[in-house]
Amino acid sequence: MVLRLNINRIELATRDWICKVQIVEMGCPRESLDKKCRFQNLILEDEEECQIKAVMYADKIKQYADKLFLICLLASSIIV
């Protein structure tokens, strides 16, 4: 069963979760120091206004370039 959680309820051990988030800030796309990949920092906010930093890589940067304030469901992503 997939759990619907807010950001503050998701832990490293949490599996099979979904969180409704909105992109509220997008940094400029950058290259890694070793120049092996491109990435972009994001700030995501849930329905309780809890925020978390996320990183988007390579081809996804163009796909979401004009999606500031996009509301989406984030599902079982890698948490570090």
Q: Where are the domains of the chain?
A: 3-75
pLDDT, mean over the chain: 87
Q: What percent of the chain has pLDDT over 90?
A: 50
**pLDDT for res 67:** 72
Residue 42 CB coordination number (10 Å) = 19
**pLDDT for res 11:** 87
What dihedral do alpha carbons 52, 2, 60, 30 form, nearest 10°? 20
* Residue 25 main-chain phi, psi, to 5 deg: -155, 135
Please write the tens of the pLDDT for every residue from 42-56: 999 999 999 999 999
Give the model's confidence band at 80: pLDDT under 50 very low, under 70 low, under 90 confident, else very high: very low
On the question of pLDDT at 15 being above 60, the answer is yes
What CATH number was assigned to the domain covering residues 3-75?
2.40.50.140
